[in-house]
Amino acid sequence: MKFICKSIGYIFIASFLNLNYTFSQNVCSEVLKKANKLYDDGQLLKVEPILFDCIRDGFSKPEKVQAYRLITLCHLFNDADSAAKENMLRILLTDPEFKPNPALDPSEFITLYNKFRTPPIYSLGIVAGANVNLPYLINPYGINNTTKDKGSFEQAFGFQVGLGIDLLIKSKLHFNSGLFFINKGISFSQNINQFGVLKSEENQTSLEIPLQLRFYLFNTKLTPFIQAGISGNLLLVSNSILTRSNNTLDALIQGAAIDMLPQRNILTYNFLFGGGLKYKLKYSFIILDCRYALGMMNYSNTTKKYESNELTYRYGYVDPSFSIDNLSISVGYFLSFYKPKLVRLKND
């Protein structure tokens, strides 16, 4: 019985509070209508005082923006520039994506708005996508005559996932970076003395930090962009499954995955270029990012080519010198963070 009474009490209190909130909202909606009427009638000095209590507690977010807009207009027409700037800032702090309406707002209001920094100063997001790796041979190595068969690479697919950051530099120019885990596949095959075929299916996981400039072509809801920069790559894992066939004996040699890290240069870098599309949402955006990474370093550690007896004698594999280009397509979702600020002080 005691529990039932408590429950009824809680329900009564919640209902009362909700009713009180609804009543407060209705009262403040009427206050906003009255303030608009006073503004239209030219009674500018009466507008701010009647809005104060509801701004503090009672207005919804859109209503608060409307209230600050009215107050800003009143101060502009009373030549109270400092107070107008303060209230324009309050508008942007309440709704950072507020935009004046040229059909309704006077030119003085729009001019004041244009003196503020309104774009997000940075955006954080999560990015994921797929890539295709394009390894290319720099110098061939092997136990056979490599002038007859240098070996060849094939395209292989992978994926990437990570966190991105987009920083405003100026207007449409942004700095873009992040931290990404990149998975790459490397497929290599080579004939061995015309008696057999060696195949290596290598899988790599690396940590990548891109540093690039991104230029947004327009300030529209759907905006194309171009980008260029560099990326640093730290190789974390590299394993390869090798097979060696013998045509004369109809035999196949294959074993467990082999750690290829000793054969690899752990740190590499790429040149990046590409573009994409940005789709603007409320306080966020979705991005489609296409980029080409041009490999600038040899992935093979030239001092370690003959140090693995298993690679050399069991499989007949000597690591070729090679680099990797990478084409990736990613989709990301970013949240934007704002810090509106008065930045244009000339002619104030």
Domains, the chain, in order of start with CATH, read 2-117 (1.25.40), 122-337 (2.40.160.20)
pLDDT(137) > 80: yes
Q: Per-residue pLDDT averaged across 156-175, rounded?
A: 95
pLDDT digits (tens, 9 = 90+) for 170-228: 889 999 999 999 999 999 998 877 678 889 999 999 999 999 999 999 888 999 999 99
Q: What's the confidence (pLDDT) of residue 88? A: 97
Model pLDDT, residue 141: 87
pTM, two decimal places: 0.84
pLDDT category at 24 given cuts 50, 70, 90 is: low
Percent of the chain at pLDDT exceeding 90: 72
- Gap between the Cα atoms of 185 and 206, Å rounded: 11
**What pLDDT, on the 0 to 100 scale, is given for residue 12?**
43
pLDDT in tens, 225-263: 999 999 999 999 999 999 988 766 666 788 899 999 999
- Lowest model confidence (mean pLDDT) among 16-30, 51-65, 149-163: 16-30
Residue 17: its pLDDT value, please? 39
C-alpha count within 13 angstroms, C-beta hemisphere, residue 269: 8
pLDDT at 8 over 60: no
Which three-class secondary structure state does DSSP give residue 67? helix
pLDDT for residue 348 is more than 60: no
More confident residue, 247 or 28: 28
Q: What is the pLDDT of residue 105?
A: 95
Q: What's 45's DSSP letter? A: G
The continuous run of DSSP H or E covering 271 comes out as strand 267-281
Q: What pLDDT is recorded for position 23?
A: 43
Give the residue carrying structure tokens 């292989």. 156
